[in-house]
Structure 1
Amino acid sequence: MAVRLTRDDARRLAVRAQLLTGERPAGIVETIDALTIVNIEPTAAVAPSADLILWSRLGWPYQPADLMRLVEEDRAVFEWGGFYRAMTDLPLLLPEMRQRPQSAQAREWLAANEVFRREVMARLRAEGPLRASDIPDAAQVSWRSSGWTNNRNSMQLLEMLVLCGDVAISSRDAAGRLFDVADRVYPADVPILSDEEAARERAERRLTSLGIARTKGIAQPLEPVDVGEIGEEAVVDGAEGRWRVDADALARLDDVAPRTALLSPFDRLVFDRRRLEEIFGYEYLLEMYKPAAQRRWGYFALPILHGDRFVGKLDAKSDRKAGVLRVHAVHEDEPFSDEVRRAVDAEIQELGRWLGLEVVGAPAP
């Protein structure tokens, strides 16, 4: 028998799983561990995505320098596939790394550049960590692409070797990423799991972090949005098809303290646009890639969560030179009540204080 859920139930499951209730997590590692992934998209119209994601969970105690220390010194967090992850998840990824690269083109290119690969590994071993620009392009066969990677052989090789697990991202700074041999970044005593064990545990952790997910979803290159047959089968009133839910979370459905949050456009709660519309009835599109005249909500509009509902979008931009957070508009999906307006205004002010910027263009709470 499938569990029957209302949309209110489904929303509460999703919001609680993503640590967006009044009960905030204790620290950065605990947050990343619970979320499983934190997107690293560096666009900083307001702040880099990873920082917005962690601030929206932890609040003012979160500082980007603390995350960098955990990545670069403590090695409690690592970067792979465009996401920050808890180092305790490394065993779950090693089986996938062993299967990389997956495309025939990439495998053939690596095989044709075996000498180049050995030279790069030797240079990293002797001189690392290094930037891609520090690696001379000695490819035997150039990488062909219709996109920005065409002929960028050193970077393309490093990217592939990171996905394969031979190379790791050691750190980041304003100039970009530094790469090193993996055994100087990853721990040596990592449990070895079979492909099946790792895939199942990753799916279980994904469902715990999402609360509710589809059995099958739109294919993603590295991080799926579906969970297979993990968890309990469920149906959601007003949403077609079958879902999977985290059984432990079902027992705590009523224990959700609401709060207001401003989310990154790359936040996992809004990443699956289909689920977002089906469960939350919320329309959202990141418009940074659109011409300005075609934008409805703004270049980097932040989804506004109030309790277990999305209520609007915040169009804002950090102007560090002027020392202000410019609020261009607060788009209300439906007219805000006084209570919602006060809560949203207060959260905008909190965002400004965390950024160290004065908020201009929005009323004080």
Structure 2
Amino acid sequence: MKTLIISPDEARYLALINQGLDNYRQHKTKKDLLNIITKLGYVQIDTISIIERAHKHILWTRFPGYRNDMLDELIDKDKKVFEFWDHAAAYLPMKFYRFSLPRKKMYAEKYKTWEKKNKKLLKYILERISAEGPLQSRDFDDPKKRGLWWDWKPAKEGLEFLFHTGRLIARARKNFQKVYDLPERFLTAAVNTEMPSYEELAEHLIMKSITSGGITAENEFTYLRYHNRNITKKVLIDLTENSKIIPVKISNDEKTIYYSTTKILNKLNNAFKFSNDVYILSPFDNLVIQRGRLKKIFGYDYVIECYLPAHKRKFGYFCLPVLYGDKIAGKIDTRADRKTGELTVINEFWETGVKTNKDFRNIYLNKLNELALFAGCYIVKYNSK
């Protein structure tokens, strides 16, 4: 099939509209929230909460009226979202549940020796949850029994093993800790629990990535995700030959082959323009999480430095990328202190011409105030140079 050449502007446009960064003001309901999660394909969970938890920040970026109870209801009440693993810990739409099964099977096989050594522990955990209902890891912490096999640390390992192999499910989080339950008590009859073939899994990964990114490259849809490499390559060829997906190149990067669909590419048939909205993104946001893609499509080289020793950081512990229209305008090092109610902007690092743009500055300062409120603060302490 002939490869379609698109411009860098067109590539950014497709990326932004498929990431839900073009009409965020329209979202108002829990159904809208589910649609966002479904279109993104996953929402990453991370322990760092310098501003707010990653998943909350990602969803708030696209849904300013986001409330935690909305996500809680989608998981525990409506059974429309579940927690598992994408390329990292994540919330996923329940319609994708069956595609979590191959990784669970792989995990069980990989750690079968550990399972044999810990049969009594796993039996104990499952019996307690079966009898008592949903439990957290802290429910297994008994100071009187320290040092035995039901101690908290091995119990935590056992809970996570059972979670990653699908014998337990996380039906909620309390104080950011998983609440574990039996799948049969959580999943409804409507959930498809049929094990997909490797071919089905590959097509799912490809189409999910196209839906969320507009265009996607092979190294993007397989990024840290369990799959069969040879079968995935074959499925990619088959989908292309059957015109289900279209090979695409960006005019300033003819080495990278991307893939899209006719439906998505047809969005380029009409004239488009970028908004002048400002988004202060989480470092784990779906738009920026794959740094190579970000550099190729948006021309921005971004590194999160919280995992580096302090003496090796060039910018700051937790810099947030700032999107302005179709460009990454720069990044800001900031921190929320909910005790004092202050959101402190420690420093800013802007691309050329951004700092002197008055229109941008006004929108950005308003967005900072919105970020502060989202983070549980009411004052922006502006210390940047």
Q: TM-score when scaled to structure 1? A: 0.86
Shift of 1:23: 5.0
Residue 90 of structure 1 is aligned with which of 97, 115, 120? 97
Aligned residues: 349
- The corresponding residue for 1:211 is 214
- The corresponding residue for 2:242 is none
Q: Which amino acid aligns with 1:34?
A: K
Shift of 1:53: 0.2
Does structure 2 retain, via aligned residues, the 8 Å contact 1:264–1:303? yes
1:328-357 superposed Cα distances (whole Å, 9 cap, x missing partner): 122202231222222222211221233342
- How has the CA–CA distance of structure 1 residues 256 and 28 changed in structure 2, closer, same or farther, with 3 Å as cutoff? farther
Q: Does 1:241 align with 2:256?
A: yes
Q: Does 1:309 align with 2:327?
A: yes
Of 114-123 and 276-285, deviating more is 114-123
Shift of 1:20: 0.7
Does structure 1 retain, via aligned residues, the 8 Å contact 2:281–2:321? yes
Please give the alpha-carbon distance, in whole angstroms, between the structure 2 residues aligned to 1:184 and 1:219: 32
- How has the CA–CA distance of structure 1 residues 4 and 348 changed in structure 2, closer, same or farther, with 3 Å as cutoff? same
Shift of 1:326: 1.1
- The corresponding residue for 1:148 is none
Q: Does 1:107 align with 2:112?
A: yes
Listed as ranges, the gaps of 5+ residues in structure 2 are 240-244
Shift of 1:262: 1.0
Please give the alpha-carbon distance, in whole angstroms, between the structure 2 residues aligned to 1:202 and 1:162: 22
Shift of 1:112: 3.2
RMSD between superposed Cα atoms in Å: 2.7
Q: Which amino acid aligns with 2:202?
A: A
Listed as ranges, the gaps of 5+ residues in structure 1 are 143-150
- Summarize the alignment of residues 140-219 of structure 1 with structure 2, pairs less than 5 Å apart: 152-174=153-175, 176-191=177-192, 192=194, 194-195=196-197, 196-217=199-220
Matched position secondary structure for 2:172: strand
Of 243-252 and 37-46, deviating more is 243-252
- How has the CA–CA distance of structure 1 residues 354 and 131 changed in structure 2, closer, same or farther, with 3 Å as cutoff? closer
How many percent identity over aligned positions? 28
Of 77-86 and 256-265, deviating more is 256-265
- Summarize the alignment of residues 40-55 of structure 1 with structure 2, pairs less than 5 Å apart: 40-55=45-60
Residue 349 of structure 1 is aligned with which of 363, 369, 372? 369
Please give the alpha-carbon distance, in whole angstroms, between the structure 2 residues aligned to 1:76 and 1:247: 28
Please give the alpha-carbon distance, in whole angstroms, between the structure 1 residues aligned to 2:186 and 2:378: 39
1:147-194 superposed Cα distances (whole Å, 9 cap, x missing partner): xxxx94322222222122110012112261121111122223323353
Q: Which amino acid aligns with 1:331?
A: F
- How has the CA–CA distance of structure 1 residues 23 and 40 changed in structure 2, closer, same or farther, with 3 Å as cutoff? closer
Q: Which amino acid aligns with 2:315?
A: W
Shift of 1:218: 9.0
Please give the alpha-carbon distance, in whole angstroms, between the structure 2 residues aligned to 1:223 and 1:268: 18
Residue 294 of structure 1 is aligned with which of 312, 324, 337? 312
Shift of 1:269: 0.9
Q: Which amino acid aligns with 1:208?
A: T
Q: Which amino acid aligns with 1:173?
A: K
Please give the alpha-carbon distance, in whole angstroms, between the structure 1 residues aligned to 2:41 and 2:105: 20
Q: TM-score when scaled to structure 2? A: 0.82
Q: Does 1:338 align with 2:358?
A: yes
Does structure 1 retain, via aligned residues, the 8 Å contact 2:130–2:182? yes
- How has the CA–CA distance of structure 1 residues 128 and 25 changed in structure 2, closer, same or farther, with 3 Å as cutoff? farther
Matched position secondary structure for 1:242: strand
- The corresponding residue for 1:147 is none
Show structure 1 runs of 4+ deviating over 6 A.
none
Q: Which amino acid aligns with 1:281?
A: G
Q: Which amino acid aligns with 1:252?
A: K
Q: Does 1:3 align with 2:10?
A: no
1:278-305 superposed Cα distances (whole Å, 9 cap, x missing partner): 1111011111122334323321111101
Please give the alpha-carbon distance, in whole angstroms, between the structure 1 residues aligned to 2:10 and 2:310: 37
- The corresponding residue for 2:76 is 72
- How has the CA–CA distance of structure 1 residues 72 and 355 changed in structure 2, closer, same or farther, with 3 Å as cutoff? same
Please give the alpha-carbon distance, in whole angstroms, between the structure 1 residues aligned to 2:132 and 2:267: 52
Q: Which amino acid aligns with 2:380?
A: V
Matched position secondary structure for 1:271: coil
- The corresponding residue for 1:16 is 17
Q: Which amino acid aligns with 1:245?
A: S
Shift of 1:40: 1.0
Does structure 1 retain, via aligned residues, the 8 Å contact 2:19–2:287? yes
- How has the CA–CA distance of structure 1 residues 262 and 24 changed in structure 2, closer, same or farther, with 3 Å as cutoff? same
